[in-house]
Amino acid sequence: MMWVIDASVAVRWLLKDEEHPHADIVLQSVINYPNFFIVPELFCYEFFSVLCRLHPSPVEAYIEGIWPIIKSGIIRQPMTESLASNAGLYTKKGLTGYDAAYAALAKEFNATWLTFDQKAHICIKDEGISHLLTEKLPENLDKIL
């Protein structure tokens, strides 16, 4: 099973006001088994943008807190033609372009998009490719721990 990590999950790894136990478990899973996780290339840019708005030392937080995780073996997927086509379909369901890229990535890799974004999850809940971490951990995540 592959897992797509949303920036809303990674934010909880570094911002104290955003901490969540499910995000911590995802982080431990990523550290132990990075090759089971995938992010769209935009992940790093999106995450850095959030850090710049919310973290007192965004550059240091990115370099020390996220970059080691990203380069540990997580798959980083560029926006291919097929990914863009699938993302376009998800924008028609109400997702932003960013969120549509995560959803399309999950669809293309037969993965599950892990997110704390309830609005996005609700837009595509019937697709069965997203999992809202505020509710519970996905059942299959514990199989890789």
4-16 confidence digits (pLDDT tens):
999 999 999 998 8
What is the dotted CATH code of the domain comprising 2-144? 3.40.50.1010
Instruction: Calculate the alpha carbon distances from 27 to 14, 51, 74, 84, 95 in Å.
Output: 11, 17, 12, 28, 25
> Please, which pLDDT band fits residue 1 given cuts at 50, 70 and 90?
confident
2-58 confidence digits (pLDDT tens):
999 999 999 999 988 888 999 999 999 999 999 999 999 999 999 999 999 999 999
Instruction: For the chain, give every domain's residue range.
Output: 2-144
Say what the pTM is.
0.94
Distance CA 97, CA 103 (A): 10
Q: Could you identify the residue written with the tokens 């949303």?
A: 6
Mean pLDDT to the nearest integer, 109-116:
97
